[in-house]
Amino acid sequence: MNNAKRLLVTALTICWATALSAQPALTVVETAIELAHPVANVTADTLAIRLMPDSIGALLFDVRALAEYKTSHLTDAIHIDPEISVECFIERYGTVVAGKNLIFYCSVGYRSSILLERVQKQATAAGALSLSNLRGGIFRWYNSGHTVVDQDGTTDRIHPYDSIWGRLIEPRTP
């Protein structure tokens, strides 16, 4: 995405994120990302069904900074640097992706959409069945009531990315 689009998306997102509550603001962010990065998306609820035992499953890639991943992530997600080169991705995961449905996610879907765009052609050539972005990222997943984990098991912590983006996370009530 060029700098002008990036600036527009960021500005609109920050405006809405500070003016709206978490769920409507996150919906605005999701829509802006989809307009800027038209990749296949999967909803949190659809992914939850796909991750159930005896379902078609998915190979999950967490496209966030390591500190974000360590705070919490989806069960069995593979941490991957958002800046990984296409060549390095294929070198590391080319044999693993064959015959799999790949799901990329980050906080809200922005970084994961960009990575998906970069690796889509080569991952498909390596045998991946499909590539999708988790719409709304881990924030939507968490806000929809799905489980996140850290190294010790289930957690209710989500890395906020920063104080503005963190407003898109709905606190869970005990």
Tell whether 43 and 105 lie within a shared domain: yes
Question: Can you give the pLDDT at residue 14?
Answer: 59
Tell whether 26 and 46 lie within a shared domain: no
What residues make up the domain containing 15?
1-36
Instruction: Please report, as a single letter, which amino acid is at residue 150.
Output: D
Residue 52: inside a domain, yes or no?
Answer: yes
Residue 23: inside a domain, yes or no?
Answer: yes
What is the CATH classification number for the domain harbouring 81? 3.40.250.10
Q: At what angle do helices 22-36 and 110-125 cross, to 10 degrees?
A: 40
Residue 167: inside a domain, yes or no?
Answer: no
Tell whether 43 and 31 lie within a shared domain: no
Geometric angle at alpha carbon 28, from 45 and 50, rounded to 5°: 15
Question: What is the tens place of the pLDDT at every residue in 34-77?
Answer: 888 899 999 999 999 988 877 676 899 999 999 999 999 999 99
CA 102, 107, 113, 114 torsion: positive or negative?
A: negative
- In whole angstroms, give the CA distance from residue 134 to residue 106: 8
Question: Can you give the pLDDT at residue 123?
Answer: 97
Residue 173: inside a domain, yes or no?
Answer: no
- Look at residue 146 and give its three-state secondary structure: coil
User: What average pLDDT does this structure show over 13-23?
Assistant: 63
- In whole angstroms, give the CA distance from residue 124 to residue 17: 35
Tell whether 95 and 142 lie within a shared domain: yes
Confidence of residue 163 (pLDDT cuts 50, 70, 90): confident
Domain count, the chain: 2
